[in-house]
Amino acid sequence: MPWREFTRMSERSEFVAFARRPGANVSELCRRYDISRQTGYKWLRRNGSGEGAVLDQSRRPLSSPQRTPVGLESQVLAVREQYPFYGGRKIRRRLQCDGIERPPAASTITAILKRNGLLAPERRLKRDWQRFEEDDANGLWQMDFKGHIPLSRGRCHPLTVLDDHSRFCICLAACGNEQGSTVRSQLTAAFQMYGLPERMLMDNGAPWGSSGQSQHTRFTAWLIRLGVTVSHGRPHHPQTQGKEERFHRTLKLEVISRRAVWRDNPEVQIAFDSWRPEYNFERPHEALGLEPPASRYRHSSRSLPSTLAPIEYGADFEVRRVKENGRIKLKNRYFFLGKAFAGDPVGLRQVGECAWDVYYCHQRLGRIDLMQRQHGSEEV
């Protein structure tokens, strides 16, 4: 299928970019990208010739020393035409990457855009929250579905996963639904390629959140079993996943809105696969000092296990098995943990005379306090 072939071309370019870094382990990268070492070195040899590579240098003549100021302005406009959503700082960085030793100042480029009627007014909103950023790559991945895209028939549900530290786009998938099995399939492929993160942040919607008593679902239970800590944002506070929200805005502006009506999911996926390498490896990111996300991203050292390890707890835990109704019994009282854990053991660690912390694998689910007022089956 053509979109699968395009995806392979994107993976080839991504492999070459990571393999050319100093100290890169080519054998390990070949394993992650499911290719032989012979193929990997062949891709590296071909990279300079442009055969099948997405990351070749532009063929546009941008660095002639005889250029006049009018010619330099033409270069600015050419970059703007190629990247119609870039502002002054990003265009200046693009010119530097293309070999212009002394490009105009960002303010001068902005004036050129304004003079040519290419500068759209931007409305900046005041923000009342503090920005945060994970210290290292793979310390935290943010995940969400962007609002659906209407197709000629049906809808596309874009699934996006972003590394918090580097803003590297881990996954950009045109999905036909928002079911847990679909997300699990996409994440499995991402884990095989990039490894496991320490933690993942998502909102409270399906399939990773629940509107019922329990915050967790079978999908998040699977992530916890893999050793990934699951975090949910505060309800009705999308700024908790601000980087995802900003990424979705960029995705809509630079990809989705370029076509009035998309035919089907494969067509959308082709567009996603074409744009993702540009975003990860070429597009300057202002929050990263105008470097692309790939400049700060590294593969995780935690590999996806072939099988789930058995759930075990230390000697300081009391173990209870969660019933099919999602409840456990302690001191003749019933507490609701969630049907996501039905049939699995949980660990209870006593932290006070009448209090226990409840764990599922490594993750703390909550606390049972017997001093609280009893009212039927209580939620932890």
Helix, strand, or coil (residue 43): helix
Residues 220 and 333 in one domain: no
Residues 171 and 275 in one domain: yes
For residue 220, give the CATH number of its domain. Answer: 3.30.420.10
Residues 193 and 259 in one domain: yes
In a domain, 155, yes or no: yes
Residues 150 and 270 in one domain: yes
List the alpha helices (DSSP H) in the chain. 2-19, 26-32, 37-47, 69-82, 88-97, 106-115, 180-194, 218-225, 242-254, 265-277
Report whether 165 contacts 293 (CB < 8 A).
Answer: no
Q: Which residues make Cβ contacts (< 8 Å) with residue 10, sequence separation at least 6?
A: 54, 273, 274, 276, 277
- pLDDT at residue 276 in the model: 95
Report whether 148 contacts 159 (CB < 8 A).
Answer: no
Residues 250 and 358 in one domain: no
pLDDT means per 10 residues, the chain with 380 residues, are 59 89 92 90 75 46 50 80 79 82 81 74 48 85 92 94 95 95 96 96 82 78 95 68 88 91 95 94 85 94 93 95 94 92 95 93 92 62
Residue 191 backbone class (left: φ over 0; alpha: ψ -120 to 50; beta: rest): alpha
Instruction: Tell me, letter by letter, the H, E, C secondary structure of 184-251.
Output: HHHHHHHHHHHCCCCEEEECCCCCCCCCCCCCCCHHHHHHHHCCCEEEECCCCCHHHHHHHHHHHHHH
* Number of domains forming the structure of the chain: 3
Residues 213 and 156 in one domain: yes
- pLDDT at residue 344 in the model: 96
Residues 323 and 289 in one domain: no
pTM for the whole structure: 0.74
Instruction: Tell me, letter by letter, the H, E, C secondary structure of 298-313.
Output: CCCCCCCCCCCCCCCC
Structural domain of 27: 2-47
- pLDDT at residue 24 in the model: 92
Q: Could you say which DSSP state residue 178 is in?
A: -
**Tell me: the pLDDT tens digits for 91-122?**
888 888 888 877 888 888 888 887 777 766 55
Residues 202 and 235 in one domain: yes
**Tell me: the pLDDT tens digits for 163-187?**
999 999 999 999 999 999 999 999 9
Q: Which residue matches tokens 């105008």?
A: 290
C-alpha–C-alpha distance, residues 101 and 331, integer Å: 74
